[in-house]
Amino acid sequence: MARPAVYGCVRGNTLASSAPFRATECPAILPNVYNALVSPSPKKFLPIEERPTERRNPNSTDIDRFSAEEIVRLMNEEDSKIAAAVAREIPAIARAVDAIVIGMRNGGRLFYVGAGSSGRLGVLDAAECAPTFGTSRKQVQALIAGGKRAVTSAVEGAEDSTRNGERDLSAKRLTQNDVVVGVAASGSTPYVLGALKHARSRKATTVAVTANRNMPVARLAKILIAPEVGPEVLAGSTRLKAGTAQKMVLNMLSTAAMVCLGHAYENLMIDLLSTNEKLSDRSLRILVEASGKSVPVTRHALRKSGRNLRVALVMLKLNVQVAKAKQLLKSAGGNLRRALGES
């Protein structure tokens, strides 16, 4: 025969089990009794966190007790793991670069899509391509959840809509020559998932840059780049190691693609846009380095070429006039090495 339920509390060392007790008899333990009988601990219902970036880092458990030097030393130690994590993804990064190069040679564009810190990193990389490589601002673009306002301010809830990601990217009228890079440290940002889903439907090449490999973005990306940097010093603060890894990857994607497309001569920015005094001085230094000519001669060629570094370099290295330099470049399909007879 089953024992009857016991309702009681401890009075001193004695269990009271006669009649249901009154709250005033043992108020100190009543909440615990109630929770035990009615509501199990919430932790029992929390899903197991599969994302390493959301877990707690055992090395920083007591970081709130550290001195300033101890904090930054620990952060530096954690950051030292990033390059190795990115190195493991080099084959995937190279495949993505090849896809971008092939796409752009056929008139395609590169799109970065992200939210929060990840989205801002995409905006940064896209913004730097035009002045660094002389490309059209339409050739490399970035979409961030929440629009331009989200670049400098948090736009709450903007990243939670897959529909917004689909809508923003659909306005770009994708083609199969475009490459869409979803940047999401978590690997599960709805805005990014929506954009990648739309890109797949348009047969564009999809790439995911994340810090968590086994996440939804992996199923939507043709190429997965996942430098797994592990838990952050502050749990879930993916602007730290994950963000640094993402920036390294985006730097590689854009720089390697542009170099392969001929936007560099040796290791010099031959298509640099001279939009201010500092960049004008840099353009002159680039030409002096590349041609081996004196500053006065180089400055004259640069002025004659209309500040076109490619044309000026052909003039200087082959000792030809502007018209002949332009003709050589056109015959070479814009390939500077070929125009110089160095290919």
Two structure tokens written together for 267: 């290791």
Task: Count Cβ atoms within 10 A of the Cβ of residue 227 and give its class: 0-12 exposed, 13-18 middle, 19 or more buried.
Answer: buried
Inter-axis angle of helices 241-260 and 68-79, nearest 10:
40
Is 289 an active-site residue? Answer: no
Q: What is the DSSP string of 18-53?
A: SSPPPGGGSTTTHHHHHHHHH---GGGGSPP---GG
- The answer to whether 210 and 184 have CB atoms below 8 angstroms apart is yes
Q: How far apart are CA 153 and CA 145, in angstroms?
A: 11
Catalytic residue among 89, 159, 166, 228: 159
- The answer to whether 187 and 216 have CB atoms below 8 angstroms apart is yes
Residue 208 CA: distances (Å) to CA of 68, 147, 187 = 35, 20, 8
- The answer to whether 226 and 218 have CB atoms below 8 angstroms apart is yes
Q: Which residues are catalytic?
A: 128, 159
